[in-house]
């Protein structure tokens, strides 16, 4: 009876996972398939699940008729810099909050956590005024980057991760005449690779996909990021779905590459703490 019950549970689990997998994959499949169908040319405006005629026209139109290369470059610059700054500052802050003792540590951490409870929409206007009117950073890389150099969410993530690293290693390094920054750089960072990889992927994907802030601070077409550029990719009376799908496919490539490059660390990172070390 027990084994039958187990088989039933396993069967239900597999069915649900397969269904979930299909639900997840269909939009991606449709995006990729859609990018090879020239629905705009035959004026059908339909995207079928399997193209009758394979066409690279949508890709050509996407790159020829827009500043797509520039948008991709902008996204790459902004996302890469923000990934580096987030990993750097969040790991430093996370280490400090998790392992160093200093006056006001808990109070500062709680204040930071409280800022996470304020919805982004509430802070958007003051932030906009600060960046655009006070710092005069409209339509610039600095305007895109400055407000997001490190997020409280990432600090929290790294603090939780750093807490799992054994404190005795820090003490051993301290006795081994290692400087405080040396401990962070030579001992903590190499051990935190899985956590840092997860943070890097999350950061890159978040900033690559970010739409609203780049929409607010960019004005010229040349300063747009890929997401803002894609949204504006319309003609007077119609939408070129094929080209948008081609753009979306191109836009998703860096994320897919990044994930596979860091997959090993990513999987380690998300399972850390789940098993007894």
Partner 1 sequence: MARVVFKNVEKEFVDGNKETFIAVKESNFTIEDKEFVVFVGPSGCGKTTSLRMIAGLEKQTRGDIMIGDRVVNKLHPKDRDIAMVFQDYALYPHMTIRENLSFGLKNLKQPKDVIAKKVKDASEVLGLDHLLDRKPKELSGGQRQRVAVGRAIVRDPQVFLFDEPLSNLDAKLRVQMRVELAELHKRLEATIVYVTHDQIEAMTLGQRIVVMNKGQIQQVASPTDLYQKPENMFVAGFIGSPPMNFIDVIYEHGKVTMEGAQFELPEHCAHALRAYEGKKLVLGIRPEHLFGEDITMGVPDTYALTSTVQVVEQLGSENLVYFRVGERMVTAKLHPDSDARVGQMKKFLLDMSKVHFFDVETEKRIPMKFMSA
The H-or-E segment that residue 11 falls in is: helix 2-34
Q: How far is the CB of 102 from partner 1 (least distance, A)?
A: 14
Which residues in the 109-168 window bind partner 1 by CB under 8 A? 166, 168
d(CA 93, CA 177): 23
42 scored as a contact of partner 1 (CB under 8 A): no
What minimum distance in Å lies between the beta carbon of 88 and partner 1? 19
Residues facing 234 on adjacent strands: 239
The binder of partner 1 chosen from 96, 158, 173, 246 (CB under 8 A)? 173
174 binds partner 1 (CB under 8 A): yes
- Residue selected from 137, 155, 187, 196 as contacting partner 1 according to rule CB under 8 A: 187
Least gap, CB of 161 to partner 1 (angstroms): 15
- CB-nearer residue toward partner 1: 5 or 104: 104
Phi, psi of 197 (to 5 degrees): -65, -40
Q: CB nearer to partner 1: give 168 or 220.
A: 168
Q: Does 105 bind partner 1 (CB under 8 A)?
A: no
Please report how close the Cβ of residue 190 comes to partner 1 at its closest, in angstroms. 4
Q: What is the dihedral of CA 28, 30, 36, 41, to 10 degrees?
A: -140
Q: Residue from 64, 190, 220, 236 that binds partner 1 (CB under 8 A)?
A: 190
Radius of gyration of the chain (CA): 23
Query: Which residues are paired to 239 by β-bridges?
Result: 234
CB 248, CB 68: distance < 8 Å: no
Contact call for residue 101 and partner 1 (CB under 8 A): no
Member of 8, 12, 125, 172 binding partner 1 (CB under 8 A)? 172
User: CA-CA distance, 70 to 39, in Å (whole number)?
Assistant: 25
- Cβ contacts of residue 97 below 8 Å, gap of 6+? 105, 108, 109, 155, 159, 162
Q: Minimum CB separation from partner 1 for residue 182, in Å?
A: 7
């Amino acid at each position: 009876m027990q084994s039958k019950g187990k088989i039933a549970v396993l069967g239900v689990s597999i069915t649900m996972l397969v269904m979930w997998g299909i639900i997840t994959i269909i939009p991606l499949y449709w995006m990729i398939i859609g990018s090879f169908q020239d629905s705009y040319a035959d004026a059908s405006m339909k995207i079928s699940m399997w193209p009758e005629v394979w066409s690279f026209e949508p890709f050509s139109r996407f790159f020829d008729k827009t500043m797509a290369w520039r948008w991709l470059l902008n996204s790459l610059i902004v996302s890469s810099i923000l990934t580096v700054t987030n990993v750097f500052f969040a790991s430093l802050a996370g280490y400090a909050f998790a392992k160093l003792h200093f006056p006001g540590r808990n109070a500062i951490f709680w204040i930071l956590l409280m800022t996470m409870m304020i919805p982004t929409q509430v802070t958007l206007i003051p932030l906009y005024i600060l960046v655009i009117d006070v710092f005069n950073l409209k339509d610039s890389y600095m305007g895109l980057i400055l407000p997001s150099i490190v997020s409280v969410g990432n600090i929290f993530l790294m603090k939780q991760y750093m807490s799992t690293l054994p404190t005795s290693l820090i003490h051993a390094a301290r006795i081994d005449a290692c400087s405080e920054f040396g401990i962070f750089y030579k001992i903590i960072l190499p051990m935190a690779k899985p956590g840092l990889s997860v943070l890097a992927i999350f950061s890159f994907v978040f900033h690559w996909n970010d739409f609203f802030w780049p929409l607010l601070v960019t004005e010229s077409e040349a300063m747009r990021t890929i997401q803002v550029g894609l949204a504006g990719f319309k003609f007077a009376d119609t939408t070129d779905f094929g080209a948008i799908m081609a753009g979306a496919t191109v836009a998703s490539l860096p994320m897919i590459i990044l994930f596979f490059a860091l997959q090993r660390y990513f999987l380690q990172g998300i399972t850390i703490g789940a098993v007894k070390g």
